[in-house]
Each structure stands twice: as C-alpha cells, then as structure tokens.
Amino acid sequence: MTLRLYDEKIGQTLIEKEYPDTFFLNDGDIRECITYLKPPYGSGFYHEICFGSVHIGFGNISLAHKLLLYFETDFDSVEMHFTLHGKSSAISENFQKTVSFESYQHNIIYAHHMRGKMEFDGSDMKLLEINLAPEFFKKFLPENSELFDIFRTAIEDQNSCLMAPDHHRISLEMYQILNDIMNCERKGTFKRIYLEAKVSELLLLQLEQFFKNESSKSSLIKRDEDKIYAIRDYILHNLHQTCSLIDLAHRFGTNEFTLKKGFKEVFGTTVFNFWNDTKMDQAKRLLLEGSLNISEISDRMGYKNPRHFSAAFKRKYNVIPSKIRN
C-alpha cells in the first residue's frame, strides 16, 4: 500500500511511503515515524503511529503561504478526521464535491484509491487523523440507523464518501482524548493498549454525535461559535492568567451573556470550570513528570501562594500535590 504526496509545480515528491501489509494486520507491533516540513514550504512535523488495523497521524505545521499538493493512494481506508486549527480542501475524482475542513471540525471519511489535490490555507495547521481498515471499522458501526447503513453500503460498494454530509464541531470530550493521544508517553505494548482504548472512545463520541445529529447542533450563529472556540484556545495558551468574564468576552468581541451561554452549550461546562480543570490537569502532568517542584508548578499555573494551589488541587483530585508526586 502506497501513499504519495508531491508538488506538481516543481515536480518534487515530498512524501512517498510504502506501508507494509502488516499495517492492516494484528501483529502486535507499533511503528512510529516523524516527518518534518522544511523551507520553502514552512516548518513543523507530522507524527505517525501504526499498529494492527490502526494508523494515527497528527501534526502541527506553520506554512509560509498557501500550499497546493497532489496525492495518490492505492488502498482503502476509513479516516476519523479532526482539524484542530487551519483550513484545508481536497478535490478528488472519487468525490462529487470539494471536501473542505476548517478549525474545530471533524468527520469520518471512507476513501477508496484516492487521487487528487489538496490545498492547505492558514499560517498554522494542526490536525489529527486516524485511519482504520474498513473491515475493522465496520465492526464498530451500529445497526438499524439509516446514516450508518448508507455509510456501510458505500464501503461495501467502494464508493468514497463522508459519514455526515456536514462536518460537526469537535466537542470538549473529544479534545481531551485528542490531547491524550498526542501526548501519550507510554511505550511498547502499554502504548498500544492505551491508544486502542482512546481510539475506540473517540470513535464512540463521533458516532454518538452523528446519531444525535440535530440535537448536537449549536443554536449559536457561526460567528459567535467561532469566538467561543477562540476563547477556549486562548485559555489553553494562558492558563496562568486571571481574567473576568467581561474582559474575556470583550477581548474577543462578544458579551458576557453570549460567552456564558455559548460556552456551556458548546462544551457542556462553564468557562471557569473548564479553566480550572485544564489548569489542574496540566499541573498533575507536571507533577508526574517531576522536572519542576511544587512551588514552580504553582507559579506556572498563576497562583501567587503555593498553599492556594495545593487547596485547589485537593478540591479537584482529593489529594494534595506532594502525595501525587510520591
């Protein structure tokens, strides 16, 4: 099975990989590789993990300009696609329309022997893709659903298609699992067991969201929904900051009511619960890594007094930070 990615303008092949047949077999091994993007295209990486019937790929890329690439594949795959940031479009003779993804969107794609071109737009691209062997994927597909039956038939007839006609928004639960996958530091068999569980959990959330369909759609207009996701990104990159709801709303051109209502609707929690939970999760990770002491972690999380940090940590995990480290 071969994947080829090339720049037709200058006649240069960027990636050409021969995936072994064991890519789709349950042989118990894990294979990993990292491909780096270099000038003149930009900078960044794409990390691939292969085992059994699963291929995970995720990357973070900064582009110097819009990038147009051509691609060819000679195998079938079901792809769980998540665009965390940036824009991309794919045109292929297998699809009747251009398939475009924007920030915070996901879908499931069945691709049969693809050939076409892709355009990446945006200075920063961040995505995660999980490719599954079609026969392996069908084991997880529920019965007695028109949507899932149509997708199952498309796989059997080898007709490339999308699971949902419209992309869905990545939920908070999905984000948490995506981060777990990208930051997994386990090795060997333990890593495989962990990632298999996370892939199954992520697929469950996707299928549930597709099944609910109408009830999962936000009542917010797209402009306000984009602001809610931008606020979430700001929090993730500024965990140490303290900011009122009014200041946070005004920073992104919205109001306190829309922020409170929209954040709860999109992510199922309040702004400050999300901020605190994310902060404590990061603190726990730093404690387990052991490279910083408790006072340094407290300072990094924005606490002026380590005792206040310890009290907040205990409320979250019912144990003080020093016990976690020990």
User: What confidence tens digit (pLDDT) does each residue in 155-205 have?
Assistant: 999 999 999 988 999 999 999 999 999 999 888 899 999 999 999 999 999
Side chain identity at residue 223, one-letter code: R
Report the Cα 289 to chain-centroid distance in Å: 23
* 20 shares a domain with 159: yes
Phi-psi region of 302 (alpha: psi -120 to 50; beta: other; left: phi over 0): left
Q: What domain range includes position 288?
A: 222-325
φ, ψ dihedrals at 93, nearest 5° = -65, -15
Last residue of a domain, one of 216, 241, 264: 216
Which is more confidently placed, 213 or 299?
A: 299
End-of-domain residue from the set 187, 216, 245: 216
pLDDT > 90: what percent of the chain?
A: 39
The verdict on 265 and 172 lying in the same domain is no
- pTM, two decimals, is 0.75
Is 270 within 8 Å of 263 (Cβ atoms)? yes
Q: Which residues sit opposite 85 in a β-bridge?
A: 126
Give CA separation, 312 vs 52, 232, 239, 261, 309, in Å: 41, 21, 14, 25, 5
Instruction: For residues 64 and 95, state if they share a domain.
Output: yes
Q: What is the CATH number of the domain that holds 193?
A: 2.60.120.280
What is the count of structural domains for the chain? 2
* 39 and 74 inside one domain: yes
Residues above pLDDT 70, as percent of the chain: 88
174 and 293 together in one domain: no
pLDDT grade, residue 253 (50/70/90)?
Answer: very high
Structure confidence at residue 154 (pLDDT)? 92
- Verify that 132 and 27 share a domain, yes or no: yes
Alpha-carbon distance of 286 to 273, in angstroms, equals: 20
- pLDDT score at 19: 47
Q: Are residues 198 and 230 located together in one domain of the fold?
A: no
Measure CA 256 to chain center: 28
Q: pLDDT digits over 272-290, tens only?
A: 999 999 999 889 888 888 7
- Spatial separation of the C-alpha atoms in residues 73 and 76, rounded to whole Å: 8
Q: What value does the CA radius of gyration of the chain take, rounded to a whole number of Å?
A: 21
Structure tokens at 183: 């930051």
201 and 235 inside one domain: no
CB atoms within 10 A of CB 279: 21
Of 216, 232, 261, which residue sits at a domain end? 216
Is the pLDDT assigned to residue 112 strictly greater than 60? yes
9 band by pLDDT with thresholds 50, 70 and 90: low
Tell me if 64 sits within 8 A of 50, measured CB to CB: no
Please report the pLDDT score of residue 207 as a whole number.
Answer: 94
Say what the pLDDT of residue 75 is.
Answer: 81
* Selected residue with higher pLDDT from 168 and 29: 168
pLDDT, the chain, mean? 84
Whose tokens are 């605190």? That residue is 276
Give the pLDDT confidence of 54-109 residue by residue, as tens digits.
999 999 988 877 777 777 777 889 999 999 998 888 888 777 678 899 999 999 99
Question: Does residue 255 sit in helix, strand or coil?
Answer: coil
Whole-angstrom distance, CA of residue 199 vs CA of residue 254: 35
